[in-house]
Copies of this chain bind each other. A is one copy, B any other.
Amino acid sequence: MTSEYLQIVVPVGRMLHSTKRYFTVHFHWTGTKMAALLKQYRERIRTELDRVVDFWLKYSHDEQYGGFFTCIGKDGKIYDELKYVWLQGRQVWMYCRLYRTVPRFHRPEILQAAKSGGVFLQRFARVQASDGPGKCAFCLTRDGRAVKVQRTIFSECFYVMAMDELSRVTGDKEMQSDAESMMDQLVHWVRVDSSGLGRPQLPGDRPVNSMAVPMMLLCLVDQLTEGRAELAEKYRELGDWCVSQILQHVQKDGKAILENVSLEGKELPGCQGRMQNPGHALEAGWFLLQYAKACGAAELQNVAVQKFMEVPFLTGWDKEHGGLFYFLDADGHCPTQLEWNMKLWWPHCEALISFLMAYDHFRDPAMLARFTQVYDYTFTHFPDEEHGEWFGYLSQQGKVVLDFKGGPFKGFFHVPRCLYMCEKMLDHLLTTLES
């Protein structure tokens, strides 16, 4: 819809590696024409966000036991009643963030749903209450009994996000301190002693710097410190540590972002060491850019864009069928993940946020070109015009192969967060263009 007439200057030496239907024409646009285009994007994104919020408000609430159903079929039917804790936490967070920052979502039923999710999580998510806040389950029965516990930190991370954002809306100080004490437990597990996670110590299982860990902690630092000088001070060193840990993943002379490196920031052997996840690297990109903007760290802003956006985009984009691959091997071996060549919704969400944030910050038209390329693929492949919400899992060729709207790893999170952030950024861009 847009690619035919978005024609922008792409500086020589940075020409896009893309299929021929994108950006081969050099052309200067007027501010008015650009504004018209951005307005078009904003309209579509706003409409999508409304539809997505409606879908989850309509189908996901468990009025009987509280919390949210997350296994939701194409047409809204619940196909499994299990409650995944990551997704419970993310939905609470997303509802509260929309309620708190977007006037049209400042609605009582959204707040009410968020509170119900918060109560459910506080009551059921934790599986032990010995010393410290304890582990959270990964998955619960409909009525809140633990089914599975992972030996990682992520359930707890989404618990922190949920509780902190909910406390910002309700003003519940106890809940805020619940979030903070869980955060301190997380930092202890990651930086001091991981034995509380329950992983056996095995002689061949060397410790790894897995990018997900500092990314999640950086995201939580951003969450907890917003508008709070004292906490910003408390977590400043942690934020810097997270950034340094994430930067260790720039490898192969700056030509690859590797998911796993050694604690010393060196390449690891085998598949684990060569694994690339372009969507994840792009998500790290906007986490870093956001952090660098807040601190005014100019060099980090450049690294965020050049290394964590450009590199994964150029390596991860499928030049034959379009879209971002899920996994790749940095040395060109075949990945061992059976789903490596599939096109998932969330890497595209993260790419949209990344390139729009980069464009908003640097006003480099190449970034808008990237955004448009991802936007075109995303909006022609993922949204379900019939029932609303987005499909999550496409074949390499772009055909829907899993048609549910919610599943064990897809909830009310990546799609609405992307649409919400892009709408905000487009608002900002349009304000500056019009001024």
> For residue A333, which residue of chain B has the nearest CB?
B79
A338 near B: Cβ within 8 Å?
yes
Which of A152-160, A255-263, A403-411 makes up part of the contact surface?
Answer: A403-411
Given A334-B73, A336-B71, are A146 and B404 neighbors across the interface (CB < 8 Å)?
no
Given A140-B204, A141-B204, A146-B205, are A404 and B334 neighbors across the interface (CB < 8 Å)?
yes
Taken residue by residue from 61 to 74, chain A's Cβ proximity to chain B (1 for < 8 Å, 0 otherwise) reads as 00000000001011
Residues in B with CB closer than 8 Å to A82 are 270-271
Given A269-B81, A271-B80, are A402 and B334 neighbors across the interface (CB < 8 Å)?
yes
A414 to chain B, nearest CB (A): 16
> For residue A340, which residue of chain B has the nearest CB?
B402
A207 to chain B, nearest CB (A): 12
Inter-subunit contact A393/B202 (CB<8 Å): no
Cα-based distance from A339 to B407 in the complex (angstroms): 14
Chain A at the B interface: mostly helix, strand, loop or mixed?
Answer: loop
A108 near B: Cβ within 8 Å?
no
The one of B205, B271, B336, B338 in contact with A147, judged by C-beta atoms closer than 8 angstroms, is: B205
Inter-subunit contact A336/B145 (CB<8 Å): no
Inter-subunit contact B149/A200 (CB<8 Å): yes
Cα-based distance from A203 to B128 in the complex (angstroms): 12
Residues in B with CB closer than 8 Å to A334 are 73-74, 79, 402-404
Inter-subunit contact B335/A402 (CB<8 Å): yes
Taken residue by residue from 399 to 428, chain A's Cβ proximity to chain B (1 for < 8 Å, 0 otherwise) reads as 001111001100000000000000000000
Taken residue by residue from 136 to 151, chain A's Cβ proximity to chain B (1 for < 8 Å, 0 otherwise) reads as 0101110011111100
The one of B200, B203, B402 in contact with A338, judged by C-beta atoms closer than 8 angstroms, is: B402
Cα-based distance from A149 to B80 in the complex (angstroms): 29
A251 near B: Cβ within 8 Å?
no
A224 near B: Cβ within 8 Å?
no
A127 near B: Cβ within 8 Å?
yes
Contacts A/B (CB < 8 Å), 26 sampled:
A71-B270, A71-B336, A73-B333, A79-B271, A79-B334, A80-B269, A80-B271, A127-B200, A127-B202, A139-B204, A140-B204, A144-B204, A145-B202, A145-B203, A146-B202, A146-B204, A146-B205, A147-B202, A147-B204, A334-B403, A336-B407, A336-B408, A338-B338, A338-B393, A339-B339, A395-B395
